Amino acid sequence: MRCPFCKMDNDKVIDTRLSDAGLVIRRRRECLTCGKRFTTHERLEEMPIRVIKKTGRREPFERGKILSGVLRAVEKRPLSMERAEELVDALERELLDGAEREISTQRIGGMVMARLRAMDEVAYVRFASVYREYQALDEFIQEIQKISDGDNGKNAEAAAPGDGGSAADNGQI
């Protein structure tokens, strides 16, 4: 980045921050030639975050998907569109501030629920029920796939030794 004072392109970043709606990165820089400090703002074209689906598939983070889920949950509740937007802004900021660039759908769902709960209990319960339903379906499909892979013997084996052991301990002696 060219220094606005001495015009040399020789700087180091001393601080990075996200501003307002989450998609602007503000960088505090120090020119290594003249020692002066200046700030740059970069607007991100899209979130540099990928979402890991339960199936392991990666997809780009889509703000619109999260927002429509939140809006469905707050329907007919005394919460403005603005509040819903703010919730998603805050979520985006949290994601960008975090170290991870790939994040699971469960984690995102949990983050939305935590924020909704603080805003409106009814909206929280609605979101949670839709979200859990979806998760259960996802898990159900996974189980079906396991069985069709011929992998279903493992569960029975794993359950048996634990049960037998505790019964013996509590019994005779």
Residues lying near Zn ion in the complex (CB under 5 A): 3, 5-6, 31, 33-34
Least distance from C-beta 41 to Zn ion, angstroms?
18
Are 23 and 42 in contact by the 8 Å Cβ rule? The answer is no
CB of 7 to Zn ion, least distance (A): 7
**Smaller CB distance to Zn ion: residue 29 or 115?**
29
Strands 11-19 and 24-31: antiparallel
Q: Provide the token pair at 11.
A: 């700087």
Instruction: Select 30 or 86, whichever has its Cβ closest to Zn ion.
Output: 30
When the beta carbons of 7 and 132 are compared against Zn ion, the nearer one is 7
Q: Which two tokens stand for residue 67?
A: 């927002």
Residue 68 sits at φ, ψ, to 5 deg, of: -70, -35
Nearest to 44 by CA among 64, 13, 16, 18: 18
Q: How far is the CB of 37 from Zn ion (least distance, A)?
A: 9
